[in-house]
Each structure stands twice: as C-alpha cells, then as structure tokens.
C-alpha cells in the first residue's frame, strides 16, 4: 500500500509536466470488438472470455481483429483510497486475470471510462481520478481505453481528454485512447496529438436508414452517420482516425445492409470495431467481417479516408485512394429496389486534391477486381455493367 501511495504522490507532483500521446499504436484503423452495441450493461467475465475465444476460432483474429473491449457497467465501487474496482459479482476473478486470459489468446484488452463524474450507465467516472485510474489500468494490463463524455457539465473537452492522455502516459503502459464525445466539440480539429481515434457522431443504431429518437438525443442509422460530417477527411490518417462508431454487422440488418455497412466503414478508413455477439454468428456475418480483401482497403497504409465522388440519386459512387496509385470504388444503392450500373470510366477521371491522386482513364488502363465476388471484373477500358441489389453495394479495387 505504501508503494502504491508513493507512486500516486509522484504522479500528482508530476502533473505539471507535459505528457504526450503514445505514438505509433494505430498506424492503421484499430480493429476489434466492443460489448456495448449488443450487450449494453449485461457484461461479465465469462462472456468476455467466450468472446475472446470466438474472435480466434471464427477467423477474426487472423483477419486482423485485435482488441476485446469491455464497455460501460463493468465498474464496482472505489476503495478507501479512490481506486476503482470491478463489479465483484460480474468479474469475480478481477480484471488482471481477465486481461491475462485475453493476452494469452494473442489479443489485446480494452476497457471503458468517462471524463465525467458518472459513466453513461451511472457507474463511477474518472473525473478527479484520472491518474489513479491510469495506474490501475496499467496494473491490469489494459491496451485500449474508450473514454466517454457523459456527466461532464461545463468541462472543456480538449482539456479533459488531455488530462487522461497525460495520465496514461505517466502510467507508462502504451494505451490506444479512443475519444468518445460524439463530435460535439469537433475533436478532429484538436485531438490529433491527444487520442488515436475520435467519434464523429452520436451512437449508431442497428438500422440502415433511420433515426432513433430518445428525446434529448438520437441514435443514427448507417447512412445517417455516413452523411453526418462533411469535409473532415483531411483530419484523418495514420495514428489519428475519424471514428464512425462501432459496427452493427450481425445485429439484425439484412446481409446486404451489413455488407454495405462494412464496405463503407472500410472506405471511410473508420476503425473496425465489431459490436455483435461473436459467439453466435451466422456464416454470412463471419464472411462479411473476415473478408480480407475488403479489410485491406480499410487497412491500406496510406490511411486516406474515402469520399463520395458521384451522387446519382439512389445510386452513389464512393472512392478511396490506395497505395501504389490504386483505387477502391464502392457503388452504394440507398434504395430498396435494385439499381443497374452502366459506368464508363473514361467519363469520370479521378482528381482528389487531398491525396493528390489523379487518374485519367483515357490514358491509363486499370485492372478491376470485385472484392465481394472475389474475382476479376475486367478493366477500365470497358464500361462496367452490373446490378446493385437494394440496400447493398458492389465494391471494386482498381490497380495496375
């Protein structure tokens, strides 16, 4: 106890010193799983262990998923010195044992807290306890922290998240910091040196095109979040990502809607954090979440967020520059009925001022691969013809 108290005192004395973010932890968008979308507050160590097992046995780990993140409601009470403890009924073995189990599976362990006095689920938040919590997380072996924004009153967001960043750095265990203040304070303009990813919207809902009104706030469908923030792609890149929220793949939408959702999150270089029950996935869900060719678009080393190049009514064309002058192209059908494509590449040159990618298909021929059909789809010398089912996509990779 004396050693712990001395370490707290040392951290308190050093709070005036400038901390920093752990660099290089998220050079491509983080991939993993989070408990909130499917389980809400119904979390316990058995379910988390089973989820880690399923991440391995389903092929998700091999596809690149790394983090197993417990969201809200794991908390118990703080002890007499203010240290947070897990709920003993839900996590009887303790968080260190759970982290060790997850690490033994070749995965990384994530946890949740809040910048306010209370979490969104009413559990103890980190306000006033940032350095103690950072020490605790380090002792448990935490690799990822999702840090929420409930019960924050008049707190300044940039300062609050900087405090936790500095606390994590002083605790000396590298931790990915996920900023979750819903885009209210435009974190893309200030958070690059604070966190590794930041939410750009309120919570997602398991629907393709809807708004779920909770009274004073709303949850949003896939296409609503996709359209919510304009002109922020320049703020996203290696080690600092625009986060379009945890995914709803496998949570009740159709297979086509799940495929479109996953494709668009890959196109937008969003972190790929699954939010379903990994223990009970259909083959369709597994095939979507583990499509390595689509994931490669998300994980492309350039780290360029995609953008909507053409709006043809219900049919949209999204593009994402890739390394080696490659290009991902996603045809999105927002309607419920199928849409026919007759796309002449030579009529639509690429001129992306942000990435500096320019392609004139009259002068350059690209090979085309259909990433969901997993087969060649001709070249840009020919018109691309296909039918996009309702609420679905066709996703292509162009390369030379």
Residues carrying an active site annotation: 148, 203
Where would I find the H helices in the chain? 2-13, 36-39, 45-57, 60-63, 95-104, 130-140, 157-171, 222-226, 255-267, 283-289, 292-298
- Partnered with residue 393 across adjacent β-strands are 332
Is residue 196 within 8 Å of 215, Cβ to Cβ?
no
CA distance linking residue 267 with residue 274, whole number of Å: 16
The encoded tokens of residue 67 equal 């983090």
Burial 268-294 (b: 16+ CB within 10 A, else e): bbbbbbbbbbbeebeeebbebbbbeeb
Phi, psi for residue 149 in degrees, rounded to 5: -135, 25
- Partnered with residue 367 across adjacent β-strands are 379, 399
């Amino acid at each position: 106890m004396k050693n712990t108290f001395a370490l707290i005192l040392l951290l308190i004395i050093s709070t005036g010193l400038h901390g920093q973010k752990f660099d290089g932890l998220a050079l491509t968008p983080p991939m993993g799983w989070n408990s909130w979308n499917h389980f809400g507050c119904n979390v316990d160590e058995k379910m988390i262990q089973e989820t880690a097992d399923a991440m391995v046995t389903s092929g998700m780990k091999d596809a690149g998923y790394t983090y197993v993140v417990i969201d809200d409601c794991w908390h118990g009470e703080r002890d007499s010195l203010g240290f947070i403890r897990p709920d003993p009924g839900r996590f009887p073995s303790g968080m260190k044992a759970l982290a060790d189990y997850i690490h033994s599976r070749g995965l990384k362990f994530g946890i949740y807290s809040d910048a306010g006095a209370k979490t969104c689920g009413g559990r103890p938040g980190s306000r006033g306890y940032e350095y103690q919590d950072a020490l605790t997380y380090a002792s448990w072996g935490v690799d990822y922290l999702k840090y929420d924004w409930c019960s924050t009153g008049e707190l300044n967001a940039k300062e609050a998240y900087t405090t936790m960043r500095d606390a994590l750095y002083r605790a000396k265990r590298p931790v990915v910091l996920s900023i979750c203040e819903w885009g209210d304070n435009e974190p893309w303009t200030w958070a690059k040196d604070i966190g590794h990813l930041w939410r750009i919207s309120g919570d997602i809902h398991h629907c393709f095109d809807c708004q779920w009104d909770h009274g004073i706030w709303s949850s949003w469908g896939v296409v609503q979040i996709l359209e919510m923030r304009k002109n922020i792609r320049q703020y996203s890149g290696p080690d600092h990502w625009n986060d379009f929220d945890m995914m709803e793949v496998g949570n009740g939408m159709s297979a086509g809607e799940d495929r479109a959702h996953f494709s668009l999150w890959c196109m937008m270089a969003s972190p790929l954090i699954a939010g379903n029950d990994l223990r009970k996935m259909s083959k369709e869900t597994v095939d979507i979440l583990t499509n390595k060719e689509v994931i490669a678009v998300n994980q492309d080393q350039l780290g360029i967020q995609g953008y909507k190049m053409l709006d043809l009514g219900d049919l949209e064309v999204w593009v994402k520059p890739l390394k080696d002058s490659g290009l991902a192209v996603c045809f999105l059908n927002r309607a419920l009925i199928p849409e026919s494509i007759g796309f002449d590449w030579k009529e639509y040159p690429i001129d992306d001022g942000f990435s500096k990618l320019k392609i004139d298909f009259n002068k350059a021929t690209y090979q085309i691969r259909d990433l969901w059909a997993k087969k060649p789809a001709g070249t840009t010398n020919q018109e691309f013809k296909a039918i996009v089912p309702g609420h679905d996509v066709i996703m292509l990779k162009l390369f030379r």
